[in-house]
Structure 1
Amino acid sequence: MNPKILKTLKFLAFLALGILLFWLVYKDQDVDRLKSILKNDVNYWWVLLSLFLGLLSHISRTMRWNLMIEPLGKKPHTLNTFLAVMVGYLMNLVFPRMGEISRCGVLARYEKMSFTQLIGTVVVERIIDVIMLLLLTLLVVVGQFGQVIQFLDNNPEVNKQLNQLTHSPWSVAVVGLVIVLMAFFWKRMMRTAALGKIRNVLKNFAAGLKSLLHMKQKWEFIFHSVFIWLMYYLMLYVIFLAFDFTSHLPAIAGLTAFVLGSYGMVAPVQGGIGAWHFMVVQALLVYGIDKSDGMVFALVAHTSMTAMMILLGLISLLILPFINRTEV
């Protein structure tokens, strides 16, 4: 099949899944009530503050990525790195997980860097992000154990899938099979005529992974890693203050909604549409927030975040060629 047609079909499939999930969440929503709340009952100053905090997180991610790149012997322009990050966010809204590849491609082009080395640094980034999310998950489970149990009780299908995943012998078998296949193909690959090229790619990739070990500003890296996720959390929590029905909730409730929403973002749909809304609505339910109110909250929070990423991503695409016109 033509690669372009295949990409188009994948895009349409992911988009259709996201729209279906979104429709399932909002199909019973009272449209007139929704319009009334959006017009009269939202303090949009808090929404603007949320977007500002989100922008700070993107700037911090830019600075952290530059710290990881410096041990590779390169020092890219901060503006180019920031614009590449924003293009990556935009691409994630087109194809899930495409953003990491896109931002590496952008920076490799405009800063004349190795694409595979940049991919290595992004892999390290993602590992750090997963660790941060797991730490926050542990904090929520320990601090809000009752609410987590209630969430699982309200969503038995999630509870069932978790039990199946952790207790099924198939999970162990699949992991074992993957390891065996990787070992087999690795040996086959090492015997091919393209061994030199493969080694070069792996060497560049490993260099990106090792960049963290040779980083001089390790404490600065740790600061940005914490700051990024703090801003992510506050970006959602301040929107609690934009509504009368959520403004009384404690900070830990915002953390619970944030963590569950983050897992919704893992779903293979553009921008977590539908899945993120569902997880946040369900999180708010355990704190006594009516489902219809929770859906309004999720709609405002997700739409504002997504709109900012689209706007900044498009601006970044437009200005990148102009600010680098003398170098490409």
Structure 2
Amino acid sequence: MKTPIRKFLSLIIPLLIGIGIIYYQFTTLTPNELEKIKISFLKADYFYVFLSLFVALFGYWSRAYRWKFALQHLGYQTKFRNDLMTVCVSYLVNLTIPRSGEISRAALLKKYENVPFDKAFGTVVAERIVDMLIFLLFVAVGFVSQYDKIYSFLLEKNVKFETLIWVSIAGFLMFIIFILVWIYAEWKIILKLKQKLAGLIEGMQSILKMKDKWNYIFHSFFIWFSYLIMFYVTIFALPETTNISFDVVVMGFIFGTLAVGFTNGGLGAYPLAIAMIFSLYGISNDISVAFGWLIWTSQTLLTIFLGLLSYLLLPVLNKK
């Protein structure tokens, strides 16, 4: 009974948080602001919205193509269409339980390409580590370029910047200690975990050993580049956001990405994060909220469409 309950809670808790955020966001808006948001949706130039969705397709393609390099290194020649469709399905599954798409992706590849689950999942985990490092690079560039603005905001909220620095250092040191313990410790529990996770570790190490690692790294950066351009293109959909500077776009992109992990696909959290960041740069609340919901809604609809289409096509195209 513990597993079904855990699964239910992992689904319902982020969903309730998202609904709560939506309720909070819209109950704090005035009737005039709500009317302006409605008008913004009606007058938006949807050419740029669809252009951003087109750019997003390159991210899907590149993620699937990057996956092939890791799988080939492990000795598995998979059909690209299956790689792409499992990626699409994984994005859809992530809308239900955050980060559950990685499991479904490995499971589907096991079903349709007979790649062992632990090895496929290992390559997916390796991807997430690479993605995290690239995202941290975005964060570093964004925070350094916007240091004065962020510092002023933290002072207004009575948050000491030095405290954040010490917390970051402590977290980094704990991570280093964990890595050293994992590599060198001879504890029975560590050895047992290593044995059980052998396939997972092999998949993760495939990046360092693969002959196509530079292609892999190129596609890793290209994926995030497509995400950023997708976000940037959407600012031209609203007249009030057209002149937003690129550094503000980067900050909105960073905090929007962080918000995705808090709820089901960023439900509620993503538009709120965008609105909060844009408001720091003098963009009106109604326009900030409208932009956040415009980009989140369009991307979510694309994810649902591609995910459902791929889920239906996978068994059809893999009939034996």
Same fold (TM > 0.5): yes
Change (3 A) 1:125 1:180: closer
In structure 2, distance between residues paired with 1:186 and 1:22? 47
Question: What's the CA shift for 1:203?
Answer: 2.5
Change (3 A) 1:186 1:322: farther
1:91-102 paired onto structure 2 within 5 Å: 91-102=93-104
Letter in 1 for 2:226: M
Question: What's the CA shift for 1:151?
Answer: 4.1
Other-structure match for 1:219: 214
In structure 2, distance between residues paired with 1:161 and 1:173? 15
Other-structure match for 1:266: 261
Partners of 1:51 and 1:305 within 8 A in 2: yes
Other-structure match for 1:317: 311
**TM-score normalised by L of structure 1:** 0.86
Other-structure match for 1:229: 224
Cα deviation code 1:70-126 (max 9, x no counterpart): 100001111100111111111111001101111111111110011111111112111
In structure 2, distance between residues paired with 1:153 and 1:273? 29
1:284-295 paired onto structure 2 within 5 Å: 284-295=278-289
Letter in 2 for 1:224: H
**Percent of aligned positions that are identical:** 32
> Once superposed, what is the RMSD of the aligned Cα atoms?
2.8
The answer to which of 154-163 and 289-298 deviates more is 154-163
Partners of 2:89 and 2:101 within 8 A in 1: yes
Other-structure match for 2:239: 244
In structure 2, distance between residues paired with 1:231 and 1:172? 29
Other-structure match for 1:281: 275
Q: Unpaired segments of 5 or more residues in structure 1?
A: none
Other-structure match for 2:24: 24
Partners of 2:40 and 2:287 within 8 A in 1: no
Partners of 1:87 and 1:103 within 8 A in 2: yes
In structure 2, distance between residues paired with 1:228 and 1:87? 17
In structure 1, distance between residues paired with 2:76 and 2:207? 14
- SS of the residue corresponding to residue 242 of structure 2 reads coil
In structure 1, distance between residues paired with 2:278 and 2:251? 9
Change (3 A) 1:242 1:153: farther
Question: What's the CA shift for 1:186?
Answer: 5.1
1:136 to 2:138 alignment? yes
In structure 1, distance between residues paired with 2:201 and 2:177? 24
Change (3 A) 1:153 1:297: farther
**TM-score normalised by L of structure 2:** 0.88
Cα deviation code 1:256-310 (max 9, x no counterpart): 110121121232x101222222221121112210111100000001111111111
Change (3 A) 1:265 1:162: farther
In structure 2, distance between residues paired with 1:265 and 1:161? 25
Partners of 1:150 and 1:286 within 8 A in 2: no
Aligned length: 316
Question: What's the CA shift for 1:215?
Answer: 1.6
In structure 1, distance between residues paired with 2:26 and 2:6? 30
